[in-house]
């Protein structure tokens, strides 16, 4: 019987992270769900059934990131796939952002991915493994007021390439996924904040040649493929999942 694979997902309590957890569990992965929202992560774990466990962690904190990895290894013995999905978005131009806001954006989105990878790689070396960074179309295109967010998402692409080169000889593949507009609680919160929700949604749909926005499962399907043996020769790349939005310049 083949050895069960273990996936660790950060930011797994909702949205893209929860969608990834659900699809990987359907594909017989044991799941380790890491999120600041422990209650939310536990709810997702309960939906998945066993084996699925949840841990609370601020991945920007070295001790907490290390503990999350160590706890997963204690529970399952190894990690097959690490998905660095947790992230925040702090809006503002460089002149508007405070240094503290900039630092927090970098800490969660970029330092967090580094820390989780730093401690996961030793747990992958014996069997090999896959690391996926959830970046964004913001790595390739920018909108006003997204300076810090764009910097972190572009940084993840550079980190992906460097890690793929450094750790490929150890049997570890590293890729990134760049989602566009995805139907998540974060997007819902944004829609609630705009003056005209219907007009905004019509505008959003108009820039998607496929005629819809994405779902967490769309991103999860891409992640499952990149984690699979079918993608064994794919490493150091970024897969855009955006319904051709950026292809037409949006």
CA-to-CA distance for 207 and 145, rounded, in angstroms?
A: 20
Helix or strand holding residue 44 (H, E): helix 38-48
Q: Is residue 29 annotated as part of the catalytic site, yes or no?
A: no
Using an 8 Å Cβ cutoff, are 40 and 23 in contact?
no
Catalytic residue among 29, 119, 149, 181: 149
> Phi and psi for 196 in degrees, rounded to 5?
-130, 95
CB burial of residue 207 (10 Å; 0-12, 13-18, 19+): middle
25 half-sphere exposure, CB direction, 13 A CA radius? 22
Report how far apart, in Å, the C-alpha atoms of 85 and of each of 5, 42, 117, 183, 196 are. 19, 17, 12, 15, 30
Rounded to 10 degrees, what is the CA torsion of 209, 211, 212, 214?
-30
CA-to-CA distance for 236 and 184, rounded, in angstroms?
A: 27
Backbone CA torsion sign across 15, 81, 90, 43: positive
CA-to-CA distance for 69 and 10, rounded, in angstroms?
A: 11
Q: Tokens standing for 52?
A: 């699925």
CA-to-CA distance for 128 and 105, rounded, in angstroms?
A: 30
Active centre residues (catalytic) = 149
């Amino acid at each position: 019987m083949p050895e069960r694979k273990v996936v660790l997902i950060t930011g797994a309590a909702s949205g893209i992270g929860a969608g990834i957890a659900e699809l990987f569990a359907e594909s017989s992965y044991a799941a380790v769900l890491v999120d600041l929202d422990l209650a939310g992560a536990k709810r997702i774990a309960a939906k998945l059934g066993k084996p699925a466990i949840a841990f609370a962690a601020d991945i920007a904190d070295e001790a907490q990131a290390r503990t999350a990895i160590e706890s997963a290894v204690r529970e399952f013995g190894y990690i097959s796939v690490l998905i660095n999905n947790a992230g925040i978005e702090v809006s503002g131009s460089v002149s508007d952002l405070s240094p503290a806001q900039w630092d927090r954006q970098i800490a969660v989105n970029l330092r967090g991915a580094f820390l989780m990878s730093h401690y996961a790689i030793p747990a992958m070396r014996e069997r090999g493994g896959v690391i996926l960074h959830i970046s964004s179309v913001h790595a390739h295109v920018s909108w006003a007021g997204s300076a810090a967010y764009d910097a972190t998402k572009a940084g993840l692409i550079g980190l992906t390439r460097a890690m793929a080169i450094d750790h490929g000889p150890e049997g570890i593949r590293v890729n990134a996924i760049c989602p566009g507009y995805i139907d998540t609680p974060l997007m819902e919160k944004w829609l609630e904040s705009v003056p005209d929700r219907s007009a905004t949604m019509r505008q959003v749909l108009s820039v998607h040649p496929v005629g819809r926005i994405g779902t967490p499962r769309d991103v999860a399907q891409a992640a499952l493929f990149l984690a699979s043996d079918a993608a064994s020769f794919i490493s150091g790349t970024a897969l855009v999942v955006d319904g051709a939005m950026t292809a037409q310049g949006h």
